[in-house]
């Protein structure tokens, strides 16, 4: 049983790790140093937020809008933590470690073991979280070094890699009708705001859409 879980964890960790190459390259394309790219992966360690920091700064946004956009994207990890806390039941240093690796993938693999019991869920969480942490950071370094070696990033098409990466992160979330509606409204609102608002602001403004969906829509 545990071998199958470890195999799942490893394949998820390797696949996600490869996204790290895209992130490392995107960070360098946005004029961050290799060290800055690596620190983001080591400390922030939640892909979409990292891409957001890099994307907003690259578009000329302020540090504050980069921090805000990234942090709004990180809110979902609180809900993953909430889901995982009763399963992991850890305290002290172990809870700090568990918190740092509470991300999309570790939560998803753990929840997928639900029918196999608590021990399997714990193994799935830790193996996937630690595995992704190792590969994500390793591949961030490789991507950043690679992009630095390439020189002019636009000539290699790296300017298009960032929006394509965001689309790749968005795609698996469009499984429900309501998710697709939220995404469409968001794209329209954001595109409308780009000419008028400072860089980064249109992204943050789009946080209003799920708020309206949750608090105004479907009153029961």
195 belongs to the binding site for other proteins (CB under 8 A): yes
Nearer to other proteins, 2 or 171 (CB): 171
| 72: Cα separation from own chain's centroid | 11
Q: How many residues at the interface with other proteins, by CB under 8 A? A: 99
* Residue numbers 104-143 binding other proteins by CB under 8 A: none
147 belongs to the binding site for other proteins (CB under 8 A): no
* Residue numbers 11-70 binding other proteins by CB under 8 A: 15, 18-19, 21-22, 32, 36, 39-40, 43-46, 48-49, 51-53, 55-60, 62-63, 66-67, 69-70
Stretch 156-175: interaction string toward other proteins, x if CB under 8 A: xxxxxxxxxxxxxxxx-xx-
Nearer to other proteins, 9 or 139 (CB): 139
Sign of the four-CA dihedral 104, 108, 111, 113: negative
∠ CA(195), CA(65), CA(107), 5° rounding? 120
Task: Give the count of beta carbons closer than 10 Å to the beta carbon of residue 29.
Answer: 23
Nearer to other proteins, 3 or 167 (CB): 167
Identify which range of 6-14, 108-116, 119-127, 188-196 contacts other proteins by CB under 8 A.
188-196
Sign of the four-CA dihedral 90, 93, 95, 98: negative
102 belongs to the binding site for other proteins (CB under 8 A): yes
Over its C-alpha atoms, the chain yields an Rg (Å, rounded) of 18
Nearer to other proteins, 10 or 85 (CB): 85
Q: For residue 166, count CB atoms less than 10 angstroms from its CB and return exposed for 0-12, middle for 13-18, buried for 19 or more.
A: middle
Nearer to other proteins, 1 or 160 (CB): 160
CB of 167 to other proteins, least distance (A): 5
Nearest to 52 by CA among 78, 35, 76: 76
For tokens 């098409």, the residue is 157
First to last CA, the chain: 44
Interface with other proteins (CB under 8 A), residue from 92, 115, 149, 155: 155
Interface with other proteins (CB under 8 A), residue from 96, 118, 119, 134: 96
Longest alpha-carbon distance in the chain: 57
């Amino acid at each position: 049983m545990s071998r199958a879980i470890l195999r799942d964890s490893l394949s998820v960790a390797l696949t996600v790790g490869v996204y790290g190459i895209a992130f490392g390259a995107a960070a360098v394309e946005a004029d961050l140093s290799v060290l800055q790219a690596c620190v983001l992966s080591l400390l922030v360690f939640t892909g979409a937020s990292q891409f957001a920091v890099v994307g907003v700064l690259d578009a000329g946004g302020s540090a504050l809008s980069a921090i805000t956009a990234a942090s709004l994207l990180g809110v979902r990890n609180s809900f993953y933590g909430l889901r995982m806390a009763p399963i992991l039941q850890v305290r002290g240093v172990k809870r700090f470690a568990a918190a740092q690796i509470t991300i999309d993938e570790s939560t998803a693999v753990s929840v997928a073991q639900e029918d196999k019991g608590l021990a399997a869920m714990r193994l799935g969480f830790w193996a996937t979280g630690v595995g992704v942490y190792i590969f994500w950071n390793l591949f961030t370094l490789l991507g950043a070094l690679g992009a630095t070696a390439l020189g002019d990033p636009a000539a290699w098409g790296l300017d298009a890699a960032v929006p394509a990466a965001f689309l790749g992160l968005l795609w698996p979330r469009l499984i429900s009708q309501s998710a697709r509606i939220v995404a469409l409204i968001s794209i329209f609102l954001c595109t409308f705001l780009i000419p008028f608002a400072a860089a980064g602001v249109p992204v943050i403004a789009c946080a209003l859409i799920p708020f309206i969906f949750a608090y105004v829509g479907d009153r029961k």
